[in-house]
A = this chain, B = another copy of it.
């Protein structure tokens, strides 16, 4: 079983290191990629992180466009250009780069949140806020669903 599930809150030490939660660490190990691929999440003050699987996903996204095309260069710049592959030390820790920490407004504690094929790293307070918000939305969505019968209406993309 190779996905990231659950959430864990951990502290950064004086050198800025954080342990990757055990379950995530073993999922990464299985995935075969020595390091941790991270980039600032779009639209959210969080860090997206993962291993090979995530990297391949990004590559596939970029690979859809022709080499030297504008769109490809743009995507590559925004994705590869802002991501960092962090080294994982013998104890399973990483040091987050300054950009990443700034983007997620992380200071001394972080929450790891499993998202299946990848996971996110949040500042704990912001994560709880976001979670509450998400719960509220899901509840609303559920209400909507139960009031519909089985309408095959196209599900609009929402964010």
Contacts and interface: CB of A to CB of B under 8 A. Distances in A.
Interface of A: 1, 3-7, 23, 33-35, 37, 42-44, 57, 59-62, 67-68, 70-71, 73-85, 113-117, 120, 130-131, 134-135, 137-139, 141-143, 146-147, 149-151, 154-159
Q: Is the interface of A mostly helix, strand, loop or mixed?
A: mixed
B6 A84 contact: yes
Most buried by B among A62, A70, A116, A155: A116
A42 B154 contact: no
Contact of A131 (B1, B82, B131, B146): B82
Most buried by B among A62, A81, A84, A159: A81
Given A80-B115, A82-B131, 10 more contacts: A3-B80, A5-B84, A23-B85, A42-B135, A61-B67, A77-B130, A81-B115, A116-B156, A143-B159, A150-B156
A76 B115 contact: yes
Given A67-B57, A77-B134, A116-B59, A83 B5 contact: yes
